[in-house]
């Protein structure tokens, strides 16, 4: 079954703090949707409301057309990971999943498969307190996948994963989406989101800033290129003349960050000027630069 998440005019207030205001967006099946925003933007709050863990002050959030609380067997429709620390420290990974399976009417035989799928079968009988952060994150993912859901809602699932783990999770999410699943995943790692997400929803101060395809957003903003070499300074006037923004890289004698020209154009210019470079490398990806632009202008205008 394919399930869309729709957030409609959502508002959430905690006393005097407005965590989310009039937020509307949809998360489509068949795609990985990144959920981005600075600290305190309201991402976790929105995810908790979608999962029925927090009551909205205004508006609503629906999964496949109904609120989470109205889904008859929710773990079979929605898998979630909000806080990987939320495991009883004395309970083993296997017992933790067994407990969730029993509580949600999932066949206990799925536990072993889920442990295998997230790569912690070898640690299945260790108490949760003896698992590393990355292993607890994988256990949380196993719990999310246990009911074979069509929707995944994951809050910062990359936290604590090693580079292999990050690549593994990227593959898992893409596969899940390719099979028609709906994925909403928050992260602060822009490079990773650019590699993983098809679509991003960007919020700040509880408000929607953008809901857009990753490629489109990344293309809107050029990333910066680090240009470093003993004679690089000589290139600066020419770079500026061609419309690039050039900033001296902090704490370096000869390095500059150039925005608005691609590395090949800069390389040709250096070649023409006979300037040797030790570094000519994209630094910020388009998504990271776009995120900074979006959230910084919001901060200064707000
Ligand atoms: N239970 C709560 N009680 C009071 N204020 C809260 C509560 N939960 C969240 N807030 C406030 O709501 C705002 C949004 O927080 P939220 O955790 O949703 O942001 P976030 O985008 O997930 O941030 P981060 O990237 O830091 O995890 C913050 O100002 C936060 O302090």
Q: Tens of pLDDT along 73-107?
A: 898 899 999 986 777 888 899 999 999 999 888 99
Mean pLDDT of 239-251: 90
Q: Domains, the chain, ranges and CATH? A: 5-213 (3.40.50.300), 223-284 (3.30.70)
Residue 140 confidence (pLDDT): 94
Q: Is residue 149 over pLDDT 60?
A: yes
- Cβ–ligand 1 contact at 44 (below 6 Å): yes
Total Cβ atoms within 10 A of residue 253: 10
**Closest CA to ligand 1's atom 12:** 19
Least confident of 111-125, 156-170, 249-263, 277-291: 277-291
pTM, entire model: 0.84
Place of tokens 């508006």: 59
- Cβ–ligand 1 contact at 32 (below 6 Å): no
- Cβ–ligand 1 contact at 295 (below 6 Å): no
Q: What is the mean pLDDT of the chain?
A: 91
Q: Which two tokens stand for residue 13?
A: 């207030």
Q: Where residue 300 falls among pLDDT bands split at 50, 70, 90?
A: very low
**Closest CA to ligand 1's atom 10:** 19
- Cβ–ligand 1 contact at 41 (below 6 Å): yes
Compute the distance between CA of residue 191 and CA of residue 283 in angstroms, rounded to an integer. Answer: 10
Q: Is residue 299 over pLDDT 60?
A: no
- Cβ–ligand 1 contact at 42 (below 6 Å): yes
**Closest CA to ligand 1's atom 30:** 40
Give the distance (Å) from ligand 1 centre to CA of residue 189. Answer: 19
Atom of ligand 1 nearest to the CA of 48: 18
Residue 302 confidence (pLDDT): 38
- Cβ–ligand 1 contact at 19 (below 6 Å): yes
What is the ipTM score, two decimals?
A: 0.97
Give the distance (Å) from ligand 1 centre to CA of residue 297. Answer: 21
Q: Is residue 50 over pLDDT 90?
A: yes
**Closest CA to ligand 1's atom 18:** 42
| Residue 72, burial from CB neighbour count under 10 angstroms (0-12, 13-18, 19+) | exposed
For 55-122, give the secondary structure using H, E and C.
Answer: CCCEEEEEECCECHHHCCCHHHCEEEECCCCCCCCCCEHHHHHHHHHHHCCCCCCHHHHHHHHCCCHH
Give the distance (Å) from ligand 1 centre to CA of residue 15. Answer: 12
Least confident of 119-133, 147-161, 285-299: 285-299
DSSP H helical ranges for the chain: 43-50, 93-103, 110-117, 133-145, 163-178, 190-196, 214-220, 236-241, 263-273, 286-301
**Closest CA to ligand 1's atom 25:** 39
Atom of ligand 1 nearest to the CA of 188: 25
Mean pLDDT of 188-194: 89
Give the distance (Å) from ligand 1 centre to CA of residue 20. Answer: 9
Q: Which two tokens stand for residue 34?
A: 């990144």
Q: Tens of pLDDT along 202-229?
A: 999 999 999 999 988 877 776 789 999 9
Total Cβ atoms within 10 A of residue 49: 26
């Amino acid at each position: 079954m394919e399930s869309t998440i729709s957030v409609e005019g959502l508002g959430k207030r905690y006393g005097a703090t407005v965590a989310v205001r009039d937020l509307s967006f949809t998360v489509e099946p068949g795609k990985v949707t990144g959920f981005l925003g600075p600290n305190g933007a309201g991402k976790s709050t929105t995810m908790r409301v979608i999962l029925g863990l927090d009551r909205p002050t205004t508006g609503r959030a629906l999964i496949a057309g109904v609120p989470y609380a109205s889904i008859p067997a929710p773990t079979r429709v929605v898998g979630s990971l909000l806080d990987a620390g939320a495991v009883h420290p004395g309970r083993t990974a296997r017992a933790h999943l067994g407990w969730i399976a029993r509580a949600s009417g999932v066949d206990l035989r799925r536990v072993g498969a889920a442990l295998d799928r997230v790569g912690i079968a070898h640690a299945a009988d260790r108490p949760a307190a003896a698992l590393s952060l990355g292993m607890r994150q994988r256990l949380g993912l196993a719990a999310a996948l246990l009911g074979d859901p069509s929707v995944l809602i994951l809050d910062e699932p990359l936290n604590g994963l090693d580079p292999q783990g990050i690549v593994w999770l990227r593959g898992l999410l893409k596969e899940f989406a390719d099979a028609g699943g709906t994925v909403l995943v928050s992260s602060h790692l822009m490079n990773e989101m650019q590699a993983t997400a098809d679509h991003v929803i960007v919020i700040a101060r509880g408000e929607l800033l953008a809901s857009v395809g990753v490629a489109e957003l990344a293309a809107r903003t050029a990333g910066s290129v680090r240009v470093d070499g003993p004679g690089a300074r000589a290139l600066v006037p020419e770079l500026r003349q061609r419309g690039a923004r050039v900033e001296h890289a902090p704490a370096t004698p000869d390095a500059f960050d150039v925005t608005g020209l691609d590395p090949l154009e800069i390389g040709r210019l250096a070649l023409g000027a006979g300037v040797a470079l030790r570094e000519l490398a994209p630094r910020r990806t388009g998504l990271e630069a776009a995120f900074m632009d979006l959230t910084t202008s919001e901060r200064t205008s707000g």
